Amino acid sequence: MADGRLARALPSLLAVTAALGACFVALAAALGDAGLAAEAFGQMALGGFGDVPRWLSTGDAAAVLRPLGESAGKASVLLLAGLSVAVAFQVGLFNIGAQGQLLWGGLAAAVVGAAVQLPPALHLPVCLLAAAAAGAAWALLPTALKLRRGVHEVISTIMLNWVAVALVENWLVVGPLQGPAGAGTAEVHPSAVMPRLLGESSRLNLGLPLSLAAAAAVAAWLLRTTHGLETRAVGRGQEAARAAGLPVEGRTWTAMAVAGALAGLAGAVLVLGSELRYPGRLAAPYGFDGIAMALIGGNHPLGVAASSLLFGALRAGGTRMQLLGVHRGFPELIQGLALLFVAARLGWAWLLLRRKETPRA
Amino acid sequence: MLELLEALLASTLDYAPALVFAALGATLSERAGVVSLHVEGLMRTGAFVAAVAALSLPTPLAVCVGMAAAAAVAGVHALLSLRLRADQVISGMALNLVALSLFSFLLEARFSPTGTPPIAQLSRHGLPALEGVPLLRALNGHTALTWLALALPFALSFLLYRTAWGLRVRAVGEAPAAVATLGVSVAGLRAACVVGGGLLAGLGGAVLSTSTLDRFEQHMPAGLGFMALAAMVFGRWSPLGAFGAAVFFAAGNALRVGLASSAPGVLAVVPQGVLMALPYALTLGVLAVQGGRGQAPAALGQPYDPEHR
């Protein structure tokens, strides 16, 4: 069993390693100095996983906790977005729309966080629920188009992403929902902010445990319940599932609602964890990064968690590469290449199978 | 009123070429049966490489270099999706992510975080004879690429619908097995269309950095590649349809920008963001009304395996 899991994770590990290697070679070539490139990668590691040498030599725990807090912030958003894409994949749909669902989730969290007065123990959960509901609602549009009108979800979710960007960022947050501080909504009440777990020494907040709990819950649902098994059966083969008497449409609705809710939560973690309001433009396109996380993680909730933790750390560490004049977007290049290698990997498997079969034929 | 229309037409003709070329590129590749979500990445490649090449080469030549670079990226898509049987949607999105991060990295490493230094724009031309004609004089003062964008859709339409090669391309997107029985290489023909689509989408990107603006900017093409996909779907996967949709979207954009400066009162009633959502919402509406796969080629996205029938 353990061997089987390792064998399944191996191609992704190889792809990530290959991407790291390729980017190292490219950086060394671009800088004309392999030593400098190695130093930049070292800085990325120190910035992502914590400056352990400094902690050991000076006893300054913040040298480790602060970078880990930054990594956790990125990892939790990546993880929720990745889970969104992975859950949709499990039911056989390609959720390119995580980005749009994330924007609506972030907006709902910001609005409920700023406009509603509630005791702290209640306010944050209500904000999260609102974000999940907003994301789920936006995900149900392409689902309805798919199930009722047969419109392919790849095209419809791409279109809905840009509808969301236009409506949220070019209208709502610069129009009816604009706060006093220019483009963007008003700041949320302190009772809606994700509490920090380690005080002032680190920005580590509730987002990371929340996203890890989401991964565990999704894993339990998909792998340990009948409902989850049926969902995966629909994803593996709709006709077979229908022939077996499974409620194909019902499982598709549920899975897409969960996918949208997860992406909405990613937006909420972004807004309530670091931005504290919906800004004029909501950060990086984490919804698209979610596609990379899902595929590098093999669409398995725990695989998505592993790849999100890794790339969250690398991307947080990227800011430290700037010390050596390397653009902080460098880790995203590693991530893009890793996804490209994973995409190609599915093909390699096909080629190898073919080679094996040919002599017999 | 006439002047307003002329300004609107001129602004449409400035905005449309990038969208037209990219939509034609996507159409060519999808008609051959290969999904083209990587158009955004191709445009970014064309825009960046053309701008950088123009720093040391004459700009027209630099545009060609940008096209070649985008064609090379499209070649990677062809390799992944045709030779290695990768999922075409995944491969396309992966290339988008790579183009986004790679050119951000190169831009910051070589120039500045926001954009390249200014370059010599493509020269603008006009027919003296049109100068006195109302409305039509808006055609003057554009680069040669604008004129090309008005002619190329008809050329591509002729190629696809009036030549034997075009028939094969359309057939390979509908029923590849039938084309294979003619002794035509399905993968070869598809690869040619994907790379050709890359040239066109790269040209669309190069327009942005050499005609619309005079430099590459960090956010280029800012989603235009996806709007080109919308134009392709809205135009029912035909070159002239995609052209019409692209011009329609461009005119809508020109109208919105024009309203923002000349009649802001209108935008208080219909907000800009709602207008900006329209191209995508309309495309969704058309798909919802048509139902099913719309007019998409039957074998779109399906790898061709000669050993399976």
Mean pLDDT across chain B: 89
Q: What is the pLDDT of residue A59?
A: 82
As to burial, measured by CB atoms within 10 angstroms (0-12 exposed, 13-18 middle, 19+ buried), residue B30 is buried
* Touching A: B residues 119-158, CB under 8 Å: none
CB of B267 less than 8 A from some CB of A: no
Question: Which pair of tokens denotes residue A185?
Answer: 């909504």
B124-125 vs B142-143, strand pairing mode: antiparallel
Q: What is the pLDDT of residue A348?
A: 58
Mean pLDDT across chain A: 89
CB of B205 within 8 A of CB of B53? no
Looking at the DSSP bridge assignments, the partners of residue B125 are B142
Residue A157 identity: T
Mean pLDDT of A241-259: 94
Q: What is the pLDDT of residue B41?
A: 96
pLDDT tier at B5, thresholds 50, 70, 90: confident
Q: What is the pLDDT of residue B293?
A: 67
Q: What is the pLDDT of residue A4?
A: 67
Do B80 and A347 count as a contact with CB atoms less than 8 A apart?
yes
CB of A351 less than 8 A from some CB of B: yes
pLDDT tier at B140, thresholds 50, 70, 90: confident
Q: What is the pLDDT of residue A361?
A: 36
Q: Which residue has the tokens 């009722």?
A: A148
Residue A359 pLDDT greater than 60, yes or no = no
Residue A64 pLDDT greater than 50, yes or no = yes
Residue A205 pLDDT greater than 80, yes or no = yes
Test mutation, B82, B84, B88, chain A, max A CBs within 10 A: B84
Give me the domains of chain B, ranges plus CATH numbers. Answer: 2-118+130-290 (1.10.3470)
pLDDT tier at B308, thresholds 50, 70, 90: low
pLDDT tier at B294, thresholds 50, 70, 90: low
Do A348 and B229 count as a contact with CB atoms less than 8 A apart?
no
Cα(B182)–Cα(A212) distance, rounded to whole angstroms? 55
> Measuring CA to CA, which residue among B197, B222, B200, B192 is closest to residue B66?
B200
Question: Which pair of tokens denotes residue A237?
Answer: 């083969």
pLDDT tier at A202, thresholds 50, 70, 90: confident
Cα(B115)–Cα(B48) distance, rounded to whole angstroms? 9
Residue A357 pLDDT greater than 60, yes or no = no
CB of A352 less than 8 A from some CB of B: no
Mean pLDDT of B36-53: 96
Q: What is the pLDDT of residue B309?
A: 52
Q: Is B218 helix (H, G, I), strand (E, B) or coil?
A: coil
Name every chain A residue with its beta carbon within 8 A of the beta carbon of B76: 340
Q: Is B90 helix (H, G, I), strand (E, B) or coil?
A: helix
Q: What is the pLDDT of residue B158?
A: 97
Name every chain A residue with its beta carbon within 8 A of the beta carbon of B288: 145, 149, 151
Helical segments of chain B, H only? 2-31, 39-53, 59-78, 88-110, 144-162, 164-174, 176-180, 186-207, 224-234, 239-262, 264-269, 272-290
Q: Convert the pLDDT of each residue in B162-188 to its tens digit.
A: 999 999 999 999 999 898 998 889 999
Residue A1 pLDDT greater than 50, yes or no = no
Give me the domains of chain A, ranges plus CATH numbers. Answer: 2-360 (1.10.3470)
* Touching B: A residues 46-75, CB under 8 Å: none
Name every chain A residue with its beta carbon within 8 A of the beta carbon of B227: 162
Mean pLDDT of B65-77: 96
